[in-house]
Amino acid sequence: MKKLLYFLLLIGVFSCKSQDCETIPTTFRSYSEALTTIQNAKFNIANSVDTSKSSWIEDANYYSCDGVNGFLIIETSKKDYIFKNVPIKIWNSFKNASSFGSYYSEKIRGNYQLVL
């Protein structure tokens, strides 16, 4: 029964194609252009996590068109970081990590940077 519910959930999430997913550029001229484009686009998956337990990560959001890879935006008091082609399994593990900062340092930093 759980497998059937999971399958139905997947069909519901991925059956509706978002118009913006087809038009999101693969490169950007500036970091601010990338941030604005990603945050204003309509994705099939747009998810956030409560980061109030973190001492330095103020916000974290994940955006994906295909449910496999996506953009991760991490906001700190100093700047926003954009990561590209982050697997959804990394996002889900990040959301469930006991320490967002430690998980970021071990699994994300340096691996998925958005390169202009």
Contact (Cβ atoms closer than 8 angstroms) between residue 71 and residue 62: yes
The CA distance from 43 to 12, in Å, is: 14
Q: Does residue 51 belong to any structural domain of this protein? A: yes
Q: Does residue 107 belong to any structural domain of this protein? A: yes
Number of domains into which the chain is organized? 1
Q: Does residue 11 belong to any structural domain of this protein? A: no
Domain holding 61, by residue range, is: 29-116
**pLDDT tens per residue, the chain (116 residues)?**
544 434 434 444 444 445 578 888 888 999 999 999 999 999 999 999 999 999 999 999 999 999 999 999 999 989 999 999 999 999 999 999 999 999 999 999 999 999 88
Q: Does residue 22 belong to any structural domain of this protein? A: no
Q: pTM for this one?
A: 0.81
Q: Does residue 80 belong to any structural domain of this protein? A: yes
Q: Does residue 74 belong to any structural domain of this protein? A: yes
Q: Does residue 17 belong to any structural domain of this protein? A: no
